[in-house]
Amino acid sequence: MNIAGLRFYSRPPALRIGLAVTLLLSGVAGTTAAFADDDDFGFRPGNSFAPGNLLISRSVYDNNPANVVAGTTLLPPKCVAPNCVTATDSGAYPFVFNNVLTDGSFGITSKIVLDQLRPSGKLISSLEVKVPRSGDHRDQPAGDQVVTSFPSKSEIALNLSTDGRVVTFMGYLAPINALDVSNSNTPGVVDPTNPVPGSYYRVVAEVDALGNFRFTKTNAYSGNNGRAAILNNKNGANLVYMAGNAGNGGTPQPNGIIVGAGAQILTAERTPLAAQTPGLPTPVGSFNVTQLGLKADKTGKDTNFRGLTISNNVVYFTKGSGGNGINTVYFIDATGFDGNGKPLACPSGVGLPGATATLPAAPIPYDATKLQTLGVTPYNMCILKGFPTTLAKAATASFPFGVWFADAKTLYVTDEGNGTNTFDSSAGKYTTAATQTGAGLQKWVFDSTLGAWKLAYVLQAGLNLGVPYTVAGYPTGQNPKTSLPWAPAADGLRNIVGRVNRDGTATIWAITSTVSGNGDQGADPNQLVMITDNLAATSAPAGESFAVIRTARFGEVLRGVSFTPGTDRDRLVDADDHRGDDHH
């Protein structure tokens, strides 16, 4: 969960005790910038995570050429004709990701590493995500752990729980180097039309301030990926809200695919993974373009969500990819329905959270007889008033990803760019990326007169959109499979976290998206950037610029950014209610 109005304090001494895990120390690539609070939140001996530090999720590919054999390996694994293709490239990085040019579902799993950084970007410690062995005879096979799909750019977002004690994220229960897992079915929701016959659970992971992990299996997001999760653990709650996408097969989609997409809720497990037997997915939110009076599109794809946050008892999502639905910012209206079965906050599909909003406590009691025609009904989600209502397939569509509320009337939204890798060799730039006006960090302010949010400005300086950068060991020249340069360039921003400083500024950290000539641009080594913005400004202040504080190395990608578990939310000095004067 991203945090509004931050002032950091240490947790009680009882939580500052010995290591529960071995921390793997490693170097960090990229430059660092001085930051005033470095000394306040340094790593303390005996702690796994110190409160107020940054936590970054990183994935590392093992670069084994034998993972895929060019001309021999059939893709997807265990495929059935006519869904089979032969691998064109070996498992060597980054060439392995050229295989996506023939196998649209291609991906390969890799380990997840959590890096603790000072706010300046200086590395403190690293912790690999591992599944503990319980001694239970039903334990998962020794090769299984919680992994990510290396090129899947929208995965392993990090979010603080509502009480700040743990950070949550999502992955797969699968071996490292498994192929095409991100488009596999889940064991409890099998789509016979999915060209990827494999089956793997999606998993919600929790890590606490001592580095202890807990995991919960789910059958949600069959055919696609879970992207983000937040644990609501205040006032006795033990609920997880999730964002993701489902479906990789034909039409009509099975009911389980429709039910298992978008916004999900589950109860966090406290039993070993091997003892868990999850049932069908349980949706907590649903939106459909028909709420705006538009013609229905592909069922279940209007909720292809990626970004996720909670602010003042409201759950927010973003949609920024896919050709269906609307790329914008959404929220769940938990206040109920009007006499026509429409959300009270937005009977026409666009609105503002109610003043008495509470966090959802149960799944939608959906009508199973209408899944194939109307999807998950009743619809209980709204587009946040003032944000785009343009269809995703329109030329003017935006690509929102991360969201962070700084205060009552200030919302920062990242836009990852459109991914177009048009390259001008004479200019030495990816020209489409370089000329985008909406990509980067968007600052939205609430206008009390309009009763809506409006875009104030977009911060791009220092991102060097479209300008290639060098990664040590990475190929130079052109990728022969795409006839474009291997070198990546920033295309925009994805996951985000921020804090409000005592001087009236806000500091925001974000993960970059990329364009390149790689067969799969999600596999590019990307960057962690930081910027400080004048919180009160309504037009772009002169001199504000992003600083690159970490660049992924060869065979690495950066994904999520959060504050460390143990950052005490109960003792934060929060800003006012973010809803704005006219949120009813």
The backbone region for 520, taken as left when phi is positive above 0, alpha when psi lies in -120 to 50, beta otherwise, is beta
Domain ranges for the chain, please list them: 13-571
The mean per-residue pLDDT over the stretch 299-311 comes to: 95
563 DSSP β-pair partners: 54
Does position 401 have pLDDT exceeding 50, yes or no?
Answer: yes
Q: Does position 22 have pLDDT exceeding 70, yes or no?
A: no
In the chain, % helix, strand, coil (3-state, to 5) comes to: 10, 35, 60
Strands 400-407 and 410-415: what pairing?
A: antiparallel
State the pairing for strand pair 109-117/54-60. Answer: antiparallel
pLDDT digit string, tens, across residues 263-297: 999 999 999 999 999 999 999 999 999 999 999 99
Tell me what the pLDDT averaged over the chain comes to: 89
Q: What percent of the chain has pLDDT over 70?
A: 87
> Long-range contact list for 95-101, CB < 8 A, 24+ apart?
96/67, 96/68, 97/151, 97/518, 97/519, 97/520, 97/523, 98/479, 98/481, 98/482, 98/518, 98/519, 98/520, 99/68, 99/75, 99/519, 100/151, 100/519, 100/520, 101/481, 101/482, 101/519
Q: What is the pLDDT of residue 300?
A: 87
Q: 453 with 509: CB under 8 angstroms?
A: no
* CA atoms of 229 and 1, how far apart (whole Å): 9
Identify the pLDDT of residue 143: 72
Closest listed residue to residue 550, CA positions, set 248, 117, 152, 198: 117
In angstroms, the Cα distances linking 245 to 253, 387, 522, 524 are 13, 21, 17, 22
CA-CA distance, 392 to 17, in Å (whole number)?
49
Task: Point out the least confidently predicted range of 28-37, 109-118, 326-335, 515-524.
Answer: 28-37
**What is the C-alpha to C-alpha distance for residues 198 and 479, in angstroms, rounded to an integer?**
30
